[in-house]
Structure 1
Amino acid sequence: MSTATRPAAATTRRPATATLPSALRLGLARTSLEIREFFRERDAVVFVFAYPIIMLAIFATVFGQDGARVGPGEGVPFAQYFLPGMVATGVLLSSFQNLAISISVERDEGRLKRLRATPMPASAYFLGKVGSMLVTCVVQTALLLAVGAVLFDVTLPDDPGRWWTFAWVFALGTGSGAICGVAFSSIPRSGRSASAVVIPVAIVLQFISGVFFTFGDLPAWMQQVASLFPLKWMAQGMRSVFLPDAAAALEPSGSWQHGATAAVLVAYLVVGLVVGVRTFRWRRRDDG
């Protein structure tokens, strides 16, 4: 007599859950993508990299190499004097202006809305933006310093202390510029109006912050207004790197004010982050 066999117990398999890459890894991938997209826009590449160099060449040619007086019996070539301002304005354009415009355009085209609907964390998107901006700033500044040294005989510092000052001013300047650019990107009503809103702000800041003129020669009220914004402090910090110590006497305070420079740039970094978190929009204004 045959015995009935029990059916084998059914084995239930749970579907394997895919593990997403870390936010850092996704951010690095976004950085690579952003850099490739940037270099495909040849007109933007030429403007971003060439603008500070062209402005330095114009000032060095117009004013000549006789030199700007920075102390009793001491002067520096005009190319040397204007180089710090060109470094600072290059950082402003690559960080604040570039991010504010590009993010506004992406929002207007609906790209931010589509990205927000993916599993990618928001932090990866911002890491990609900041990472690509940092690469752009480094390349731009390196080109500017190389052109200044080779074509205009600008003397680069040989003191490690000055390069340390350059490093922290550059880092805080790019960081605050990037964060403020992200926060400011919510102000333009559309991608088409972004350039008209952002570029005039950058131009005005350059004229009142001692980039194109000796800061001490500007009207007192203009100096006070410029002191409220980071570009003035970035340019002053860069002047402390590339100009002799005697040039500090030309500053309104008579010193380089490194402590105040760091405090202002950190304050903009923190305030820009808080404002950006509260006001950043992934959708157009007319999209809910």
Structure 2
Amino acid sequence: MSQTVTRASAPPLGPPPSAIRLGLSRAALEIRLFFREKDAVIFTFSFPIVLLVIFGSIFADDLEGTGLNVSQLYVAGLIGSATMTGFQNLGIGIAMDRDDGTLKRILGTPLPRSSYFIGKALNTLFISFCQVVILLVIGVVLFGLKLPSEISTWLTFVWVFVLGVLGASLLGIAVSSLPRSGKSASAVIAMPFVVLQFISGVFIPVTQLPSWLVNISSVFPLKWMCQGFRSVFLGDVGATLELTKSYELGRVALVLGAWVVGGMLLCLTTFRWKSRRDG
């Protein structure tokens, strides 16, 4: 008697997940890895808070004729600095990933390369947003910062924040190829970021800087981020404190947009997946 053996056919495979979906999964992984590093979490979120409390408490004088105080200037400036943390975090983080072989291993997996960068960028966006929320809470509670009530003003905040994070993230990815090793990344990348904060209106009002420093800072995005955030949180009265007596939001959008495009071009032309010792 012959027997017929019937084999169950394998279910048809569905389409592979998209690069965006894999990028979201990568972002979730990056966020989990970030919060596992307790020291990094504490430093990342406490550092701008400490700076704001110290500078805001020392320089608490009122700005004559504006109804504002210097502390509120620091809130807007540090929000700009928090928006640009992707420059430092991605620059150092990717350099370390390259040095320890993480990037090389990713090349050997089916993970699309774009998904790796999507994950990094979304992690940066999340961290920057959390920092901004914390700074706003402290600004409102301790320094009398008034949140805008108009939707149009919040829309300005959104586009300055998004363009700022994108530009800073792309610039961080591009400069990650500069350090010769992961160990030297902090020294190579952190110093320019600190210098930019001092010449871009984060710690020192741009009106108190010499013109040649203002000209240098005007090339980079941080000055324009701070200027955009001052327009959101200091209002029309604060425009009198600007060099041109205007926030120049059109120019802010133009410069930040140019840095997004320029940062993308820099990434495409300078990014390396392998360390120098790998050839």
- Equivalent residue, structure 2, for 1:172: 163
1 CA distance for matches of 2:156 and 2:20? 28
1:68 touches 1:76 (CA, 8 Å); kept in 2? yes
Question: C-alpha displacement at 1:74, in angstroms?
Answer: 2.4
The match for 1:141 among 132, 144, 162 is 132
1:237 touches 1:261 (CA, 8 Å); kept in 2? yes
Describe how 1:1-288 pairs up with structure 2 within 5 A: 19-64=15-60, 66-69=61-64, 73-93=65-85, 95-288=86-279
- Aligned-partner residue type, residue 155 of structure 1: K
1:105 touches 1:194 (CA, 8 Å); kept in 2? yes
1:169 touches 1:234 (CA, 8 Å); kept in 2? yes
Q: Determine what percentage of the aligned residue pairs are the same residue.
A: 47
DSSP 3-state at the match of 1:193? helix
DSSP 3-state at the match of 1:74? coil
Q: Which runs of 4+ in 1 moved over 2 A?
A: 13-20
State the Cα deviation string for residues 121-161 of structure 1 (Å, max 9, x = none).
Answer: 10110110011111111111111111221233322112222
Structure 1, 249-258 or 180-189: larger mean CA deviation: 249-258
Structure 1 pair 75–165 and aligned structure 2 pair: CA distance change class (3 A): same
> TM-score with structure 1 length normalisation?
0.90
Structure 1, 192-201 or 235-244: larger mean CA deviation: 235-244
Question: C-alpha displacement at 1:235, in angstroms?
Answer: 0.4
Unpaired runs of 5+ residues, structure 2, are none
Query: Of the two, which has the highest radius of gyration?
Result: 1
1:105 touches 1:190 (CA, 8 Å); kept in 2? yes
2 CA distance for matches of 1:143 and 1:260? 28
Q: CA RMSD in A?
A: 1.9
State the Cα deviation string for residues 222-269 of structure 1 (Å, max 9, x = none).
Answer: 111110000000001111111131321222222111111011111111
Structure 1 pair 164–18 and aligned structure 2 pair: CA distance change class (3 A): closer
State the Cα deviation string for residues 25-56 of structure 1 (Å, max 9, x = none).
Answer: 11111000000001111121112212221111
Structure 1, 155-164 or 178-187: larger mean CA deviation: 155-164
1:48 touches 1:90 (CA, 8 Å); kept in 2? no
DSSP 3-state at the match of 1:186? coil
DSSP 3-state at the match of 1:151? helix
Question: C-alpha displacement at 1:17, in angstroms?
Answer: 6.7
DSSP 3-state at the match of 1:264? helix
2:157 touches 2:232 (CA, 8 Å); kept in 1? yes
- Aligned-partner residue type, residue 134 of structure 2: L
- Aligned-partner residue type, residue 67 of structure 1: D
User: Number of matched residues?
Assistant: 273
2 CA distance for matches of 1:236 and 1:127? 27
2 CA distance for matches of 1:122 and 1:182? 13
Unpaired runs of 5+ residues, structure 1, are 1-7
1:68 touches 1:81 (CA, 8 Å); kept in 2? no
